[in-house]
A = this chain, B = another copy of it.
């Protein structure tokens, strides 16, 4: 039985493996904003950091919680971390990734939902 004192916290995580890709922040933003649009989320703030020699961290504070993307372009790895108070499902998250990453032709898109006993 759900404990009603606990807020809705839907937490989805994905590890994507693809070919090595570009280090451009703008390209990671396109991926993130495709997911955000597809899941009907609302951006409050955005921040990012471009690491040297490679790797981008891009984080959106959402009115529903947050989306964080970390990339390792040289290894072809993206890690996506979405926490949302909106009603969503792991299948919807996975489908939004397939759309967002379509042009990267990923080898694998692994997806998990994280939940706690009390939720």
Classify the interface of chain A: helix, strand, loop or mixed: strand
* Whole-angstrom CA separation of A44 from B50 in the bound complex: 10
Counting chain B CB atoms within 10 Å of each CB, the highest count among A17, A44, A47, A118 belongs to A47
A81 x B79 contact (CB < 8 A): no
Oligomeric state, in copies: 2
B45 x A77 contact (CB < 8 A): no
Q: What per-residue 1/0 map shows which CB atoms of A34-46 lie under 8 Å from chain B?
A: 0000000000110
A75 x B7 contact (CB < 8 A): yes
Please classify how large the interface on chain A is, using the bins under 10, 10 to 19, 20 to 34, 35 or more: 35 or more
B70 x A83 contact (CB < 8 A): yes
B13 x A11 contact (CB < 8 A): yes
* Whole-angstrom CA separation of A59 from B47 in the bound complex: 9
Please indicate the chain B residues that have their CB under 8 angstroms from the CB of A45 in the complex. 47, 49
Closest chain-B Cβ to A79's Cβ sits at a distance in Å of 6
Q: 3 tightest CB-CB pairs across the interface, nearest first? A: A15-B116, A47-B47, A49-B61
